[in-house]
Amino acid sequence: MAEDVFKALADPTRRKILDELTERNGQTLFEICTRLTTKHGLGSSRQAISQHLAVLESAGLVVSRRQGRYKFHDLDTQPLERIVTRWLKPDAPEGTP
């Protein structure tokens, strides 16, 4: 639902995670943790990031695939494209009769 997408986007840490996955897709939880602390400078614990990933996943913004003991996370921008057209309708992007 759109509700979940908006609530998922409300948190700055979750938006940083989306930024990180935009740069490099298919990261594991620990990869995201380390790159968030080093590059973006925010010290969030593993559990915190894990819960954020769960929120993003239930919103459909992130899909995960398990492989052995690793769990890779991929970005999915489809939910984003849907929610924005809500108030931008009178724009008539291109193929509108």
Partner DNA sequence: TTGATAGGCAAGTCGTTACTTGCCTATGCT
Partner DNA sequence: AGCATAGGCAAGTAACGACTTGCCTATCAA
**Contact residues for DNA, defined by CB under 7 A:** 7, 10-11, 13-14, 28-30, 44-48, 50-53, 55, 68-71
Interactions with a copy of itself, residue window 21-80 (CB under 8 A):
22, 75, 77, 80
68 vs 95, beta carbon nearer DNA = 68
Among 18, 28, 64, 71, binds a copy of itself (CB under 8 A): 18
Residue 69 binds: one of DNA, a copy of itself, none (C-beta under 5 to 8 A by kind): DNA
- Amino acid identity of 6? F
Residue 69, judged by CB atoms within 10 A of its CB (0-12, 13-18, 19+), counts as exposed
Structure tokens at 29: 């939880």
Residue 86 CA: distances (Å) to CA of 33, 78, 83, 91: 33, 14, 6, 11
Q: Answer whether 52's CB lies under 8 Å from 13's CB.
A: yes
Contact set with a copy of itself (CB under 8 A): 2-3, 6-7, 9-10, 12, 15, 18-19, 22, 75, 77, 80-81, 84, 86-89, 93-94
